[in-house]
Amino acid sequence: MKFAKTLGIAVLAAGFSLTVQAADKIKIAMIVKSLGNGFFDAAHQGADEAAKELGDVEIIYTGPSKSTAEGQIELINSLMAQKVQAITISANDTTALTAST
């Protein structure tokens, strides 16, 4: 589980490459394959711990009710509408989550 916590901290590092006004809280969303998975719960805990230390970061931890790409796509669309600064995804189906041309 130490790796999972490190992964959570890496999620935060990705968010800090973004330009955000000083007064704004940085919102980083974590979309996991499914909720209730110990690995992702540990990554969430690591991200929350790092966010608390930094003080200006909010972690949005979510996943679909069923482990499907369609459920993840709905979450991505919702988070984009909320204008989060970063979205990390553990994709259920990488092909389904890429833009087709």
Mean pLDDT of 68-95: 93
Q: Calculate what percentage of the chain has a pLDDT beyond 90.
A: 56
Task: Give the model's pLDDT for residue 84.
Answer: 94
The CATH architecture to which 2-89 belongs is 3-Layer(aba) Sandwich (3.40)
pLDDT at 101: 47
The DSSP line for 22-75 is: TTSPEEEEEE-SSTT-HHHHHHHHHHHHHHHHHSSEEEEEE--SSS-HHHHHHH
Mean pLDDT score across all residues of the chain: 82
pTM: 0.73
70 vs 8, which has greater pLDDT? 70
Per-residue pLDDT, averaged over 79-95, amounts to 92
Domain ranges of the chain: 2-89
